[in-house]
Structures are given as C-alpha cells and as structure tokens.
Amino acid sequence: MTSLPFYQIDAFATRTFEGNQACVMPLDDFLPDAQLQAIAAENNVSETAYIVPKGDGVWALRWFTPTVEVPLCGHATLASAHVLFSHMDFDGPEIGFDTVKSGRLTVKRATGGRYEMDFPAPAVRKMDITDDVAAALGAWPLEAWGGPFYACVFASADDIVQLQPDIDLIAKLGIMKDVNRGNLGCLAVQGDGMDVVSRFFAPASGIPEDPATGSWHCMVAAILGPRFKRPLDCFQAYPGRGGLMNVELIGDRVKIRGKAVTVIEGKFTL
C-alpha cells in the first residue's frame, strides 16, 4: 500500500464549517489521470488539488472535481498555498503555481491573515436573457453576461438568497458558443454589508451548488471592476456555509484575497 499526504482545508473561511472544502495532496510526481480522478471522487469535495514541486518556489498544480479536471479553481489554489505556508514550511515571499490552462498563478501573504491570489481576468460580454435560463433559475434576472460561465445579475441580495433553482435544468442548458451555461452564477450588488452577494451552480462540473468559488469571482471582478474601480468585498451565499473574499480588477489580472482553515491532516492510502 502507498500512503500520500492529505489535507482538507476550508477556503475563503475564517473558521471550520465556512467557505468551501478542498483537499490538497502534495506529490513527488503526478499519478496517472485516472488515478487522480478516482482519488478526487473518493474525497468527494468540490475540488481536490494536486501539487508537484518544480523548484525555486514554484509548484505544478492541477484541480479535479469528483467528475472532471477543471481549468481553474480559486478556492483549491488558496487551500494549496495555505498548506505550503502553514504545513510545509514554505517561507518565501510568493508561491508560483504552474497550471495546464491558466498559466502561472501566484499567491502571497496579505494583511489580516489573508492570502492574495493573482489570476487572469476573463473576457466578458453582455448577453441576452433567455427563457430557458429564467426557467432554470425560477426568476428573471435584470441582465446576463457571458464569459467562462453564464452570469445573471439580480436586483438585491434577497433575490440571490431566495433563489430556488432547478439544478437539473441548469445542467441541461448546455453550451452556447464558448459559454458553459451548465455552470451558472448569479450576483447582486450590495446587501448584508457586502459589495456583492452571489451564488454559483456548477452541475456541469458535478457540483450542484459550490460554496465559495474563486474562478467565478474572477468573472464577478471582470463584470463589476470597471464600474467600481476599487476592491470589492464579496459574500458567496451558499446555504449554511458562505464564503468571504475580496476581489480587485487590475488591468487584465484579478486579485482575490481570503483566509483558509485546516480541518483535517492525515494520509490517503492507495
């Protein structure tokens, strides 16, 4: 039998039971893809991150949901940095993560016990609101945007919290051009003491609703950054948990700041 180091982290959280769960597994080399996917399915949290050292403060990083490998995952990147800084004695000023589809990502310590991630800003554009999207959400949004995901803007935080979407219908929305509408986010400006309140539904990636999503907040920053031109305090209103993060659009990059908490440290046995 083989034992692999294993950490479970609550990311974008100030305490256990907040934010989004991620498993982080440091490896000497990546295992075969089928094995990485099987481990992620066994872990059964929204993402499992695998990190492999490359030297000089850089790690290769891949992310898997229980069903697919994804091109970008914010909360599991935050969790990976937390493991390196807090459990693996990394004392450099900044961690570099080399990824397959999102290039070099960096994470450094920030004020107030937070970490600051540097991600690429996605291209976004206004889109039509369609009957099938409104039916899936059970509500008609004020406006819609396309980018890595389909995004719907609502009038208030209460509208976001009270959404009762049909997850099966969201999953069936499928692909429209380059927009993966089977992964769909909803946001409202201001409410509950936050600049932005949102929720994110990802059945196309095997996650009915995600508790705290960094890649989604890259899109939030791209949509709202030109309007506000300042950092935005965001709350992802997953029922019973919720995640807190601060996002800022700077040129073609997004800064995402948040905290993380270690929940489990142990070994995964193959």
pLDDT category at 100 given cuts 50, 70, 90 is very high
The first and second tokens of residue 193, run together, are 């003491």
DSSP string, 146-199: ESSEEEEEES-HHHHHT----HHHHHHT-EETTEEEEEEEEEEEEETTEEEEEE
Which has the closest alpha carbon to 191: 154, 219, 165, 218? 154
Catalytic residue among 47, 69, 116, 209: 47
What is d(CA 68, CA 78) in angstroms, rounded to the nearest whole number? 20
The reported pTM is 0.92
Q: Where do the structural domains in the chain lie, given as residue ranges?
A: 3-119+257-269, 125-250
- Residue 179 pLDDT: 56
Same fold for the domain at 3-119+257-269 and the one at 125-250? yes
Query: Residue 172's pLDDT band (boundaries 50, 70, 90)?
Result: confident
Q: pLDDT-based confidence at 190, cuts 50/70/90?
A: confident
**What is the CATH topology of the domain spanning 125-250?**
Diaminopimelate Epimerase; Chain A, domain 1 (3.10.310)
> Is residue 116 annotated as a catalytic residue, yes or no?
no
Q: What is the DSSP string of 204-234?
A: GGTEEEES--HHHHHHHHHHHHHHH-S-EEE
* Count of helix runs (H) and strand runs (E) in the chain: 6, 19
Q: CATH classification of 3-119+257-269 is 3.10.310.10, yes or no?
A: yes
